Amino acid sequence: MDPKMLKERALAETERFFLEKFGAAPAEDSEEWENEYRRQFGRLTKGAARDTAAVESHSTAIKERPVDMPELVGTSADKRWAFALRSVRLKQIQSKDLRAWLARTWIRSKEWIDTRELSEEAFSRRVEPHYIAARRRSTAETAAVEATRKTQALTAAVLQDQINAAGISAAGLVGLIDVSPRAAAIPIKEKLAELRLEGRTVRIFETADPTILMVLEKREDKRSEYGIERDAGLVADLKLFARSEL
């Protein structure tokens, strides 16, 4: 930072210090003012040097970035600054998991720039609670997904046991359809099931007529559609088989 700007900022910070703490500032030629001015000037000088070093280290830091390090979001200047700050911060963190989480989730340049005045310990105190909360959420979400998977697997196993116990199969259902009495074709409604067997695709539909089912069949390059008499047992088996195909 330009020396003149440093001096102006140090003067402003000195005055602000006295006004906030005492409600009034002493004379600028007083020893009290001079001591505080020197403290503020030293603080700002160290901060400016640290920021400059961070920006200048960008070229070196970018060569050391892991290939999976996310791109930062922000202006070009902010990204250069934040990139260097991030590199320094990540090197200070011992926990590999915490480093990975920060690199993955802190992608806005402003998040890193806003921590420039924090000590290593203060930075850790700021980010660790967020990391712990994120881990808890991730653990809970993983547990919920696993519970859902187990429930679905159990439901599928029970359903398959029912199908096996009833002796239901695609071949058996197609055979029942083939021997069902035919009826005239009528408009279809919701689909009951779709059966695939040896080059045949047989789709069975409900109709507005409670006594008729419609069959749309494709065999190789031939298509046909026809009605069959509705049988309650066949409908039940078709619905059970269709559930296993979901």
Per-residue model confidence as pLDDT tens digits over 127-149 = 999 999 999 999 999 999 999 99
Per-residue model confidence as pLDDT tens digits over 38-65 = 888 888 787 666 555 555 554 444 444 4
| Residue 23: per-residue pLDDT | 77
Which sign, positive or negative, has the C-alpha torsion 230, 232, 238, 239? positive
HEC-encoded secondary structure of the chain:
CCHHHHHHHHHHHHHHHHHHHHCCCCCCCCHHHHHHHHHHHHHHHHHHHHHHHHHHCHHHHHHHCCCCCCCCECCHHHHHHHHHHHHHHHHHCCCHHHHHHHHHHCCEHHHHHCCCCCCHHHHHHHHHHHHHHHHHHHHHHHHHHHHHHHHHHHHHHHHHHHHHHHCCCHHHHHHHHHHCCEECCCCEEEEEEEEEECCEEEEEEEECCCCEEEEEEEECCEEEEEEEECCHHHHHHHHHHHHHCC
Average pLDDT over every residue of 206-234: 94
Distance (Å, whole) CA 222 – CA 150: 42
The distance of Cα 217 from the centroid of its chain, to the nearest Å, equals 43
Domain count, the chain: 2
Report the share of the chain in percent with pLDDT over 90. Answer: 52
Per-residue model confidence as pLDDT tens digits over 71-106 = 899 998 889 889 999 999 999 998 999 999 999 999
Checking if the pLDDT of 17 tops 60, the result is yes
In a domain, 156, yes or no: no
If asked whether residues 93 and 16 sit together in one domain, one would say: yes
If asked whether residues 126 and 203 sit together in one domain, one would say: no
In a domain, 154, yes or no: no
Average pLDDT over every residue of 8-14: 81
Per-residue model confidence as pLDDT tens digits over 166-219 = 889 999 999 999 999 999 999 999 999 999 988 899 999 999 999 999 999 998
Given 130, 159, 189, which residue is the final one in a domain? 130
| Residue 49: per-residue pLDDT | 62
Given 130, 159, 183, which residue is the final one in a domain? 130
CB 70 within 8 A of CB 108: no
In a domain, 86, yes or no: yes
Of the two residues 217 and 29, the one the predictor is more confident about is: 217
Which residue range is the domain that position 221 belongs to? 167-244
Report the share of the chain in percent with pLDDT over 70. Answer: 90
In a domain, 146, yes or no: no
